[in-house]
Amino acid sequence: MHKAKLQLLGAMGIFGTIGIFVKYIPLPSATIAFVRGLLGVAFLLLIMLLTKQKPDKQAIRKNLLILCISGAAIGFNWILLFESYKHTTVATATVCYYLAPLFLLLASPLLGEKLTAKKITCISAALVGMVFVSGVTQGPLPTAYELKGILLGVGAAILYAGVMFLNKKLSPIGAYDKTVLQLGAAAAVLLPYLLLTQTFALPALTGIQWGLLLIVGIVHTGIAYWLYFGSMKNLPAETIALFSYLDPVLAILLSAFLLGEPMTVSGVIGTVLILGSALYSEFPAKK
């Protein structure tokens, strides 16, 4: 149990720093997303090979269509999130992205679940939080550039909520099989997108910038997912849900203290409302 918690903490710590790295990679967001998916798949396949984990071909065939669709959604979700980092602060983009669990709550009737008073309260609190994060409560409206970053973050959240929705429709399948297929589908969909939009050409990067790109692909994708899935077997769902929110908290703190990005009182209130309601929604009501 102790080892599993350390693994999960490590994964969340890595996920929470991705915005810092992406911010300094001078490449189109689609290119970064493609490289991330490609390197992530390569690393996880290597782990499966070294640990002698064989893919479950029957489970893969049964879930192939959903895995491909959700993988495509992951790819475009990354593009929107990375582009959001470029237009607004890492903190704001991260908070907008964590609206995803609330969007999934809105879709709960499609899963045969009731839209309870608790869910409605969480969604309402998050929407109020979004108003505070946007900055409209503190005088002038955000600039068009800043507003674009907020909308891109919300768009990324909608796509990720779609991924979570589709994952609930999957038949039983191993975590590694699922992730390798989804990351592979993300890379496969992004390649023609890059070629069609002519954003595939890599500009001359410095050694440091190449290093950042490799870290995003290997560390933030391959190693982070490896630690994440390695921890899930030995931890209850409530612990995983609670620890998962270390990711946005760390991203927000790094945004403020490392990048020096401003965090207003309005932004803090909105962050607490969104993350608090999302976290609260993860836990079942007490009987």
Separation of alpha carbons 132 and 136, rounded Å = 7
Amino acid, single-letter form, for residue 29: S
- For the cut 80, the answer to whether the pLDDT of residue 278 exceeds it is no
What percent of the chain is modeled with pLDDT above 70? 91
Domain contains 71: yes
At 68-118, the pLDDT tens digits run: 999 999 999 999 999 999 998 888 888 889 888 888 888 878 777 777 888
Domain contains 286: no
Domain contains 98: yes
Q: Which domain holds residue 73?
A: 2-281
Domain contains 275: yes
3-state secondary structure 222-284: HHHHHHHHHHHCCCCHHHHHHHHCHHHHHHHHHHHHCCCCCCCHHHHHHHHHHHHHHHHHHCC
Domain contains 287: no
Number of domains, the chain: 1
pTM above 0.75, yes or no: yes
At 161-219, the pLDDT tens digits run: 999 889 888 888 888 899 999 999 999 999 888 888 766 666 678 889 999 999 999 99
Separation of alpha carbons 220 and 248, rounded Å = 14
At 128-170, the pLDDT tens digits run: 887 777 665 665 666 788 889 999 999 999 999 999 889 888 8
